[in-house]
Amino acid sequence: MRKKIIAGNWKMNLTLAEAVAIAKGLVSASQTSTHEVMIFPSALHLESVSGIAKGSKLIVGAQNAYQSGLTAMTGEISPVQLAELGITTVLVGHSERRQFLGETSEFDQAKISYFLKAGLRVVYCVGETWAEREKGNTFSVLEDQIRKGLKDITSDLFANLVIAYEPVWAIGTGKVATPVEAEEAHAFIRKEIGNLFVGASAISEKIQILYGGSVKPDNIKDLLTKPNIDGGLVGGASQKLESFLGLLK
């Protein structure tokens, strides 16, 4: 069975004191949870939070990195620098980076390929906008993002890949895909991964696919009952310890 993941994406939120306090609470909870527990703090907080999580089951990841060793790339973070902090997990392709910073699936593919070959675990985000859903293009958008983002990724690298389906229209809006809608998208993503190359169907059954988009303690249980939903990538509800612990229950 695929292990469930509850991951908190803190985005550009929380003070250092708040991030540290939540991390301390999650260290204890992660030790007894049946789920994998992940957090993605602001880059400025990675050193402090990863230090708190060291030696525990709490996984600390980076919201972004650049596909290179140490080099002249202003404003970016290298996996080499992340490794110094013991961080081996990174988000790629979040809708905010696509929508506001112009990241494309082709650019994400370069990141994914580099990170996986470097031994990092990648959480690759995909999802459609409301306009795309209303036009009936949800599946074509997901197919495009999967095929371009995972192009030429070899079978041996998929063990370190997680997919997060985040419909853009549900992120921070209070709207949430119904469990049926989310399951439909997750099943499609799993099928598309299985069609990437010969032998990929077995890989697709093992890959963890998370749902993101206004996930809260009061709706996560229904989402996780669906066979193709393997956890949540959570924004607002992960930024308070009480609600994060509610997600883990």
- Residues annotated as part of the active site: 94, 166
Under 8 Å between Cβ of 206 and 2: yes
- Amino acid sitting at position 63: Q
Beta bridge partners of 165: 126, 211
SS3 string of 147-207?
Answer: HHHCCCCCHHHHHHEEEEECCHHHCCCCCCCCHHHHHHHHHHHHHHHHCCCCCHHHHHHHC
Under 8 Å between Cβ of 149 and 161: no
- Number of neighbours of residue 154 by Cβ within 10 angstroms: 10
Under 8 Å between Cβ of 86 and 51: no
